[in-house]
Structure 1
Amino acid sequence: MASGSRQDERAGAEIVCGAEACKKSSMEMLEELGFPKGVMPLKDLIECGRVRDTGFVWMKQEKPSQHYFEGSKSLVSYATEVTCYVEKGRMKKMKGVKSKQFLMWITISEMSVDQPCSGQIHFTTALGITKSFPVTAFMTEEDESKSSLT
């Protein structure tokens, strides 16, 4: 049953394969949604998919990875597959993303940025607890150069 619903969830998807194509596609999506490009530093992507009608997105990497965000002083773990539903300024029903807080891994279920941007990015746990950081804590050098031009 789970695989049937998984198939339904992915019906009509735009699918991209290969590391370079996936990285380009995921960076374009983050920019389109208003997120800093560094917020999802997945490694060795092998497949990305997006169903524009429903907003369902998935990103598969070769193996799970971790990334330490210096700007927020947080360690984040990404599963082999990360899924969510996206809309402008928001990723919800996230699966595959956890943050280490106080020696415990906490599942992140939602990320959002205010529209228009207030300069804050908000992370919400499955329990509804929200923590906010400056957007700059997740920006790449490319993001920073763009923001300095405007």
Structure 2
Amino acid sequence: MASANPNNHLRLSLLSVLLFLSLSELSFSVRDPVSVYEILPKYGLPSGLLPDSVTNYSLSDDGRFIVLLEKPCYIQFDYLVYYDKQISGKLNYGSITDLKGIEVQRFFLWFSVDEIKVDLPPSDSIYFQVGIINKKLDVDQFKTVHSCRNKVSGSCGGFWNRIMELPTPTDDIQMLITE
């Protein structure tokens, strides 16, 4: 019987150490995934377009995305905005098109937001396309990420006071259609 060559054991041990070091180097070089709030500004959009309850997202090479929230929720901007549990669309530089899962309330009615755009070069405005209506808003309210709330949470008294108030005369309908 021939005894095992000690050089084979040494080579095998050295190979194992090198393999271990290579794998450990890979695991330390893997970076934390980029958050969706970091991706939006890279596309020229404010990070506060989405609520703070994003649990996961996917973004394909062609810009198609899906964002998952903990649960559906509401955020009060100039208008009350509803976010479904799943939001999808196509991300381009300066715009989101084919948008699904975001609605805005106007005059007790809910309207789906189809598209969001910003001026290029950036300005102080952001545009929301709701059907044939294009509404221009101040972009500052979307620069910070807001917390979600349930529709029923908050002050019910304030809600009923707003309902019972007589509206002040404005040409808001014309502005909503033309802006």
Q: Structure 1-normalised TM-score?
A: 0.71
- Cα distance in 2, alignment partners of residues 119 and 55 from structure 1: 25
- Cα distance in 2, alignment partners of residues 77 and 47 from structure 1: 18
> Which AA in structure 1 matches 2:82?
S
| Structure 1, unpaired ranges of 5+ | 1-20, 142-150
User: Who is 2:163 aligned against?
Assistant: none
Alignment size in residue pairs: 114
Between Structure 1 and Structure 2, the one with more strand by share is: 1
Identify which of 46, 49, 63 aligns with 1:39.
49
User: Who is 1:77 aligned against?
Assistant: 82
Work out whether residues 81 and 96 of structure 1, in 8 Å CA contact, stay in contact via their aligned partners in 2: yes
User: Who is 1:113 aligned against?
Assistant: 118
- Cα distance in 2, alignment partners of residues 25 and 51 from structure 1: 15
Say whether 1:92 aligns with 2:100.
no
- Cα distance in 2, alignment partners of residues 135 and 129 from structure 1: 18
Q: Structure 2-normalised TM-score?
A: 0.60
- Cα distance in 1, alignment partners of residues 101 and 94 from structure 2: 19
> Which AA in structure 2 matches 1:95?
K
Rg bigger for which structure?
Answer: 2
- Cα distance in 2, alignment partners of residues 49 and 67 from structure 1: 23
Report % sequence identity: 28
User: Who is 2:156 aligned against?
Assistant: none
Say whether 1:55 aligns with 2:63.
yes
- Cα distance in 2, alignment partners of residues 97 and 83 from structure 1: 9
**Cα root mean square deviation, aligned:** 1.7
| Structure 2, unpaired ranges of 5+ | 1-31, 146-179
Provide, for residues 6-64 of structure 1, a one-character-per-residue CA deviation record: whole Å limited to 9, x for no partner: xxxxxxxxxxxxxxx78x52111111011111121141x22200002x11011011211
User: Who is 1:12 aligned against?
Assistant: none
Q: Where has structure 1 moved over 2 Å in runs of 4 or more?
A: none
